[in-house]
């Protein structure tokens, strides 16, 4: 089966159109005011309503409160929540129960010991996003266009579906799949011409390169 691709950080109707044409499986919207990809709830609603059936709509939040999640989930039609902050396993379970949506927990990897956190989240999340750890002092906890050493997870098996993220591009995605065995890929910076500016041709190239791998 062709790998499933998530394009994260869509903020314009043209981005959604490009994702819809590309064959990507997931469309991600970032709710993080410091991000160049941040969307308001009203923007996200408009964009989510454009997403065709069969493409899962994912809201990415960082240490969100119930009030923030209440507002997002009440107004934006969603298929999944992506938790990209320091949410504990207990908070992941709480969010999953409160909103009745599948939850994907992002975990940053830079060294072997970072993988030790995964089992506790496997038990409570629907999916795990194995991402590059943001450098100390980085303004963003993700979406930095940095990859990690893929050999750290070569041959790893988890009990829940998982996605590989971090510094993926149309040029390196085939190698990333070969090294890690990932069958789901998440990309943001690698399909942009500048922070927050998604390029339709790069989205198309990325999905095609993943599918050909």
Ligand X SMILES: O=C(O)c1ccccc1NCC(=O)[C@H](O)[C@H](O)COP(=O)(O)O
Q: Which of 66, 79, 126, 131 is catalytic?
A: 131
Concatenating the DSSP letter of every residue in 20-37 gives HHHT-SEEEEEE-TTSTT
Residues within window 97-126 making contact with ligand X, judged by CB under 6 A: none
**Helices of type H across the chain:** 13-22, 41-50, 66-75, 89-99, 118-122, 173-180, 200-212
Name which position in 118, 121, 131, 177 contacts ligand X (CB under 6 A).
Answer: 131
Report how far residue 28's alpha carbon sits from residue 51's, in angstroms, rounded to the nearest whole number: 11
What is the nearest approach in angstroms of ligand X to the Cβ of residue 131?
5
Cβ closer to ligand X: 97 or 128?
128
What is the nearest approach in angstroms of ligand X to the Cβ of residue 144?
6
Cβ closer to ligand X: 37 or 97?
37
Cβ closer to ligand X: 109 or 187?
187
**Which contacts (CB < 8 Å, 24+ apart) does range 35-41 have?**
35/9, 35/140, 35/143, 35/196, 36/195, 36/196, 37/8, 37/9, 37/10, 37/11, 37/143, 37/188, 37/195, 37/196, 38/11, 39/10, 39/11, 41/71, 41/72, 41/75, 41/76
User: Is 205 among the catalytic positions?
Assistant: no
Residue located via tokens 């971090």: 166
One character per residue 7-46, x = contact with ligand X (rule: CB under 6 A)? -xx--------------------x-x--x-x---------
What is the nearest approach in angstroms of ligand X to the Cβ of residue 208?
17
Name which position in 18, 80, 143, 185 contacts ligand X (CB under 6 A).
Answer: 143
Pairing of strands 192-194, 197-198: antiparallel
What is the nearest approach in angstroms of ligand X to the Cβ of residue 43?
14
Bridge partner residues of 30 (DSSP): 38, 60
Residue showing the smallest CB distance to ligand X in the complex: 143
Binding-site ranges for ligand X (CB under 6 A): 8-9, 30, 32, 35, 37, 60, 62, 84, 129, 131, 140-145, 165-168, 186-190
Catalytic residues, which ones?
Answer: 8, 131
């Amino acid at each position: 089966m062709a790998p499933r691709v998530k394009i994260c950080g869509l903020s314009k109707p043209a981005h959604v159109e490009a994702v819809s044409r590309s064959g990507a499986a997931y469309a991600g919207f970032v709710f993080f005011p410091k991000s160049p990809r941040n969307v308001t709830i009203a923007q996200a609603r408009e964009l989510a309503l454009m997403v065709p059936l069969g493409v899962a709509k994912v809201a990415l939040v960082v240490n969100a409160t119930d009030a923030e999640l209440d507002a997002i989930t009440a107004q934006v039609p969603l298929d999944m929540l992506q938790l990209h902050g320091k949410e504990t396993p207990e908070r992941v379970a709480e969010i999953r129960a409160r909103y009745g949506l599948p939850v994907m927990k992002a975990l940053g990897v830079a060294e072997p010991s970072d993988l030790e956190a995964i089992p506790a989240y496997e038990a409570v999340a629907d999916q795990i996003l194995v991402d590059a750890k943001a450098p100390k002092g980085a303004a963003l906890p993700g979406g930095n266009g940095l990859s990690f050493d893929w050999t750290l997870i070569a041959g790893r098996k988890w009990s829940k579906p998982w996605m590989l993220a971090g510094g993926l591009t149309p040029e390196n995605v085939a190698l990333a799949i070969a090294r890690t065995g990932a069958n789901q890929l998440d990309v943001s910076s690698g399909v942009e011409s500048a922070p927050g500016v998604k390029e339709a041709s790069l989205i198309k190239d990325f999905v095609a390169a993943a599918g050909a791998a």
